[in-house]
Structure 1
């Protein structure tokens, strides 16, 4: 038990350092730099060196007690900054996954719907043209086919399904629910706990890793927004903030894609196992009839 508690304490300390202390310390250093240099002297790092020298020669700088108090204060400030960034990251993630309710959300969702419908119309027109070219045996049949494929990819970059969320991440995360329902008539939200229990440990680990990566990307985006706030004192912080936000959003899209693909694959690979586990007959492939039977059984109708 003692060894277990020591190992647990070590892991908690590592997570505290990784999530709160180190990023918080870096942010505090950036804040001090921004306040010291200011807008007029944004490039004059000599002022920063002068400020450090002044602190080193200040009264009490040689006192062990004063240094200990300063170290504790800095660590506490880093922890507070890290905790605030975690809370902001949770808010960013909530915004990414928010639904289309509310005036602004409805407006953003409507814009995405119009873009998707226009791209879908272009894809379908290109597909019809490619089909006619194939049937007619015209010389540009291959080019027409490539055009249709390009239009299909352009539509899917907006969303794999008709948008219902103001942001891409929300539709990507919830897209498997609608795609699985369309393919198997299986309610993925309803069957998710059961599929999770049937999945092997490696699959659950991959899903948990992808989900954790999404939260980490949202937290990184929150740090980028925090750095952007330092622009009030030091304009180069805007470059750091913009780069961090862009990185966080890119990682968030990748994590959302990974999680959605894994969730959909879980239904594809273990749908028959789920049917067998709940007593639905499934001798061959997992069909829509079997999916409807599983959904009815899991919904526990009266």
Structure 2
């Protein structure tokens, strides 16, 4: 999925640049408050007010030059903190989407595979029981069908297809590639740059938005880590960090699903157009024959 994410992430820096300063300013304000309050008097708002009054009464507060330098320093600090959060968010994204090349990640993938297979077996057993009950006219057929539906949902919560990554997010995006291959025998990594040139602007905007939302969720997780680090100075910051981290993980899960669904939808809606542009006959609905021909053409024999 790396070519896909790179393509969709091309304009993220432009959208981020407008949002860099304000979160950094808020973080610096909390950092300053944490340094003043400490652990023992974490609730002492009046003490914080006294410190602010002393700063305002200092001789330098009447100097335009000192004020300008302080303002520039604060803005530069805010920008630097936000750049750090942005870099940490990118690192977290790589973590959640990592493959299983290392020993630890292979073990995590194997564990998820065992859980998925157990859930898949349970679903298939429930499905067979529901089918048998329906054929025999058993009154419990409806209840058995509902149980099969619940077990199917439990399996899909682990992964939509057999897991190949150590974490859910990586599997969810990889499942889009896997499902496209199973449906059309189309190599999505090779087809995506060509599909991207064919999709209309509206579809591109939706994909860009989903990609930006996913990156923003990872960035929120990074802010959670940074705020949690302030607990060294001021223990309530741990709750701020935990809240931001939990919210970021919740948003990332939804954004990952949305992006994967949009990728699959893009393939479903534009695979015929891609075949037509490459001179491949596709008179009816695209099938595996169309996908195989496209894959051979796009991979140029490799």
TM-score of the aligned structures, taking structure 1 as reference length = 0.92
Q: Distance in 1 between matches of 2:32 and 2:110?
A: 43
The within-5 A match list for 1:37-52 is 37-52=37-52
Q: Is it true that 1:188 corresponds to 2:188 in the alignment?
A: yes
Residue 113 of structure 1 corresponds to which residue in structure 2?
113
Residue 161 of structure 1 corresponds to which residue in structure 2?
161
The within-5 A match list for 1:78-157 is 78-157=78-157
Q: Is it true that 1:66 corresponds to 2:66 in the alignment?
A: yes
Gaps of 5+ in 2: 1-12
The within-5 A match list for 1:171-250 is 171-250=171-250
Residue 264 of structure 1 corresponds to which residue in structure 2?
264
Q: Distance in 2 between matches of 1:163 and 1:16?
A: 36
Q: Per the alignment, do residues 262 and 13 of structure 1 end up closer, same or farther by CA in structure 2, a change over 3 Å counting?
A: closer
Q: Distance in 2 between matches of 1:279 and 1:60?
A: 74
Superposed CA RMSD in Å reads: 1.6
Moved over 3 A (4+): 12-17
CA drift at 1:77 = 0.7
TM-score of the aligned structures, taking structure 2 as reference length = 0.92
Residue 8 of structure 2 corresponds to which residue in structure 1?
none
Q: Is it true that 1:21 corresponds to 2:21 in the alignment?
A: yes
Q: Secondary structure at the match of 2:60?
A: coil
Count how many residue pairs are aligned between Structure 1 and Structure 2: 290
Q: Distance in 1 between matches of 2:280 and 2:17?
A: 47
List per-residue Cα deviations over 1:208-261 (Å, max 9, x = no partner): 111111111111110111001011111111111111111111111111111111
Q: More relative contact order in 1 or in 2 (CA 8 Å, sep 6+)? A: 2
Q: Distance in 1 between matches of 2:61 and 2:75?
A: 18
CA drift at 1:110 = 2.1
Gaps of 5+ in 1: 1-11
Q: Per the alignment, do residues 70 and 215 of structure 1 end up closer, same or farther by CA in structure 2, a change over 3 Å counting?
A: same
Q: Which moved more, 1:53-62 or 1:260-269?
A: 53-62
Residue 301 of structure 1 corresponds to which residue in structure 2?
301
Q: Secondary structure at the match of 2:61?
A: coil
CA drift at 1:125 = 1.1
Residue 273 of structure 1 corresponds to which residue in structure 2?
273
List per-residue Cα deviations over 1:149-195 (Å, max 9, x = no partner): 11101111111111111111111112111101101111111111111
CA drift at 1:58 = 2.2
